[in-house]
Chain A
Amino acid sequence: MSNLHLLSLLVWLPIIGGFVVLGLNRHEHGARWMSLVVSLATFLFSIPLWTGFHRGTAAMQFVERAPWIATLHADYYLGVDGISMPLILLTTFTTVLVVIASWENVSKRVAQYMASFLILEGLMNGVFASLDAALFYVLWEAMLIPMFIIIGVWGGPRRVYATIKFFLYTFIGSVLMLVALIYLYLKAGSYELAGFQHMPLTLREQTFIFLAFFAAFAVKVPMWPVHTWLPDAHVEAPTGGSVVLAAIMLKMGGYGFLRFSLPITPDASRSLDWLIIALSLIAVVYIGFVALVQRDMKKLIAYSSIAHMGFVTLGMFIAFQIVQHTGRTAGIELGLDGAVVQMLSHGLISGAMFLCVGVMYDRVHSREISAYGGVINTMPYFAAFMVLFALANSGLPGTSGFIGEFLVILASFKANVWYAFLAATILVLGAAYTLWLVKRVIFGAVANEKVAALKDLNGREFLVLGALALAVLIVGVWPAPLLDVMRASTAHLAQQLLVSKVVP
């Protein structure tokens, strides 16, 4: 399969397509159609990744490798395993939906808007697929530029503050990671990721490297207390920006922990796992309460994202405590599987929730919860979708939200009952803030004449939400194929975790 250059296609097709769309500056409609074609084509080209994927091996697949910068020993080196492949599918799928969802409600500089999303898509695919740290870092940072522009140009009233905060927060974390990567490069002699993973390192080195990685990934996830950029960015971003931010960009942080922190610095991860577990539990419990008191719908969903991402990091770093507590390695994979499923599921659900808010915002131009009430009376179809996604967000069995949370709670039980107890509060708190949101917005009597004048979903919106609803249900009811794909990779990672890299 590698001779098809499938991954390169997924990286470069949207980027080049994005620049073509930029050229259609004066033809708004042309720009829209062109973007749809490019994003659909990218999505179609990503399907062979799933169908042609060899399950049962942790080796990288669809590998492409070419020399890139000889003096730095950096290669153009792409490949996917069971962890990154589903994330690439999520990216291509979400981008199509974003393009469709933004069809009419963006009227200012349409070509630039669409082009930003396409370029962003290519860069994100590249981040998930790169197996060379230099390539990874370049794409990781370059990703900030389109998002910076998206929030800043098409965002809300405080967009400038929000977007600069977003950029600088992420930038400061990333540059520290850069120093760590350079350090690793100088020791290993090349930027190849596999080399970093196999190289022995002292605990002191690992600790510093772990902290540098932590700075980059914790900001991206985001973990408490470096989460404050997220509510601002989400509130000010246009709907499409919020969707991509929540559905994919946050996953970069989780992915970074899986691909960099855990395998490159396993000993430091073990000695500092208490830090991550504590911050994750704070995110789940404390941020859950914070979400409860929000008045702005987007802010509420943003805080809910932070709480749910806390589950992702918890699932990853619970592994060491499981071994310590039970003396056996069974259960580690539960946590890792749960973390990856939770990332994918949260991508679908949070994207859908932001799209739902976008649907209402387009009609009423308010994100305040108090501006709504009784929406079900005027928008029954919409209400059905919103309730479905809300239930998924609170982890109802049968939806994708349940699978990831269940696996992670199961894993934390093996480590410590109290972790499981605290983690499980998300089921209560998540249900509380999400359902209370639905109760206030969707149900009850019609609140005002703006709500009374609402029109139900048009075909385009129905298509987008319908596709997401289908995905949420499929993953929820029949997660086995997904777990199958990732099993070998998470098992391999679990092994890597347990092998000390400290030189005796």
Chain B
Amino acid sequence: MHAIDTFNVSQFNAGLIYACPEIFLALSACAILMLDLLLRSDRRAVTGVLSVIVLLITGVLVVMQPVQGRVVALGGLFELDRMAQVLKVAMLLVVAMVFVYSIDYLRRRAILKGEYFVLGLFATLGGLVLISAGSLITLYLGLELMSLCLYAMVAFDRESGIAAESAIKYFVLGSMASGTLLYGMSVLYGVTGSLEIAQIASAAQAGLGENIGLIFGIAFVIVGIGFKLGAVPFHMWIPDVYEGSPTCVTVFIGTASKLAAFALAMRLLPEALGGSVHDWSQMLVVLSVLSMAIGNIVALAQSNIKRMLAYSTISHVGFVLLGILSGTAQGYQAAMFYMISYVLVAAGAFGMVLLLARQGFESDKLIDFKGLNARSPWFAGMMAILMFSLAGVPPFIGFWAKLGVIQAVVGVGATWLAVVAVLFSVVGAFYYLRIVKLMYFDEPAEDAVPVGGSALMRVVLSANALAVMVIGIVPGALLQICKLAIQ
């Protein structure tokens, strides 16, 4: 292996500085694990708050890293570029938000345990490693660290049968996907002779375009990515896992792991296999159209909001793939903007589900949103913003996301794909509107209680939804960030 041949200890140590946010996060997570043992069970919220602080500090560390172009460190295993930086900050922020939403929910469901936060921190660590992977080994390592933590998180409510069932489903299917991905990677290694992404890229550029082995490997890699992103036809696990997991884990899977899966796709497809863009973009066209179709149409029939949001995720993944499959820098920027904005909106939407949950009551049926405008006009307004954003109605962030990816596909001459996409987004608008309808046009049920939630959660959730509107009105800054991230 090339990386090992040129291994140099002093260079390796010098490279550690680039990984300092990850190292800090790993050490802090261990420290919090220890500390949690010493806390009384009624003081568990401290673990949560500390975890949020650690995430924010890690975020600051990431921002402070000077990045010019691309830095490859640790003997080619680690890679730091602007895209990594932006995705890491997005992931750390979103996980911090998720933790804030979860503290309240876990307390009310009487399952406030330190494991949730510690596992969450390690999953985030996995995500960061994956985002910065310079070699297939680190890529896989990060992915598995994240996935294993997520399997455990799904099952961490021991009393819940449905959660255990989902965890098994998730574990079995997820392992299969990882295996497929690993197999694809091994084929890539065989064909190109390297595990380093940069070297695979140059090998693939240099006349391997028609190599049947390479295309064979790409197919397996695509299956793995499709699984992790949740693109049709590899989406089967999504609705069941989303519905069965405790909502605070669902939101984690629906946001942080999506960012990681996006990084996985970006590192493997455009970066490592950029030379074979014609091969994989055709495969992605199929995945994308099917995801938009199945996701939007099946979501219409759901009565459980977690399941509905699961199918909605699938459809949004279809849109993200539109950006990637265009194979241009604009397309990748648009896909990245789409993913970040989707994650922001999804965090808010699941946050609303968490907010409405009560003692021994999940509040995950659509009808639980009935008459929310009469119970809390403020949060009904916030949820309406989130839903219109998911539907892609301006002036919310979701519109600019859709605009970007459509622009990308029209730019490469695939106008028909743009028309298909916008038509499915009209189908999607219907079920988002249904939530607005329930909140505004229907009266609350007899036994409805006022909306609870701690002050912190209410403030963060409101900020989350308002950000969706504010960035929707002035999207320039975030668009610019995504543009600089991928040149």
Residues of A within 8 A of B (CB): 22, 25, 68-72, 109, 112, 137-139, 141-142, 144-145, 148-149, 152-153, 159-160, 163-164, 167-168, 171-172, 175-176, 178-179, 182-183, 185-186
CB–CB B407/A186 < 8 A: yes
B475 to A, closest residue via Cβ:
A69
Residues in chain A near residue B418, CB distance under 8 A: 179, 182
Docked complex Cα distance between A359 and B475 (Å): 45
Report if B406 contacts A (CB, 8 A): yes
Docked complex Cα distance between A69 and B433 (Å): 28
Residues in chain B near residue A22, CB distance under 8 A: 377, 381
Decide: A178 near B403, CB < 8 A? Known: A112-B377, A183-B410: yes
Q: Interface on chain B toward A: helix, strand, loop, or mixed SS?
A: helix
Among A68, A137, A168, A179, contact of B394 (Cβ-Cβ < 8 Å):
A137
CB–CB A148/B433 < 8 A: yes
Report if B422 contacts A (CB, 8 A): yes
CB–CB B429/A168 < 8 A: yes
A153 to B, closest residue via Cβ:
B440
For the complex of A and B, list the 9 residue pairs with the smallest distance between their C-beta atoms, beginning with the closest: A175-B422, A138-B394, A71-B479, A152-B441, A69-B476, A172-B426, A141-B394, A179-B418, A182-B407
Residues in chain A near residue B474, CB distance under 8 A: 68-69
CB–CB A71/B415 < 8 A: no
Among B373, B407, B426, contact of A175 (Cβ-Cβ < 8 Å):
B426
Interface size class of B (residues with CB under 8 A): 20 to 34
CB–CB B403/A182 < 8 A: yes
Known: A141-B394, A179-B410. 7 other contacts (CB 8 A): A138-B394, A138-B399, A149-B436, A163-B437, A167-B429, A179-B418, A183-B410
Docked complex Cα distance between A25 and B375 (Å): 13
Q: Which of chain B's residues 439-463 have a Cβ closer than 8 Å to chain A? A: 440-441
Residues in chain B near residue A149, CB distance under 8 A: 436, 440
How far in angstroms is the closest Cβ of chain A from B455? 19
CB–CB A164/B433 < 8 A: yes
Decide: A176 near B419, CB < 8 A? Known: A149-B440, A164-B430, A167-B429: yes
Among B395, B406, B440, contact of A178 (Cβ-Cβ < 8 Å):
B406
Docked complex Cα distance between A137 and B406 (Å): 15
Docked complex Cα distance between A139 and B429 (Å): 18
Q: Interface on chain A toward B: helix, strand, loop, or mixed SS?
A: helix
User: What would be 24 A-B contacts, judged by CB atoms less than 8 Å apart?
Assistant: A22-B377, A69-B476, A70-B476, A71-B483, A72-B403, A72-B479, A109-B373, A112-B373, A138-B394, A141-B399, A142-B395, A145-B388, A164-B433, A167-B429, A168-B430, A168-B433, A175-B425, A175-B426, A179-B418, A179-B419, A179-B422, A182-B403, A182-B406, A186-B411
Residue with the highest number of chain A CB atoms closer than 10 Å, among B381, B476, B483 = B476
Docked complex Cα distance between A22 and B385 (Å): 15
Report if B60 contacts A (CB, 8 A): no
Q: Which of chain B's residues 398-417 have a Cβ closer than 8 Å to chain A? A: 399, 403, 406-407, 410-411, 415
Residues in chain A near residue B430, CB distance under 8 A: 164, 168
A186 to B, closest residue via Cβ:
B411
Residues in chain A near residue B39, CB distance under 8 A: none
CB–CB A168/B426 < 8 A: yes
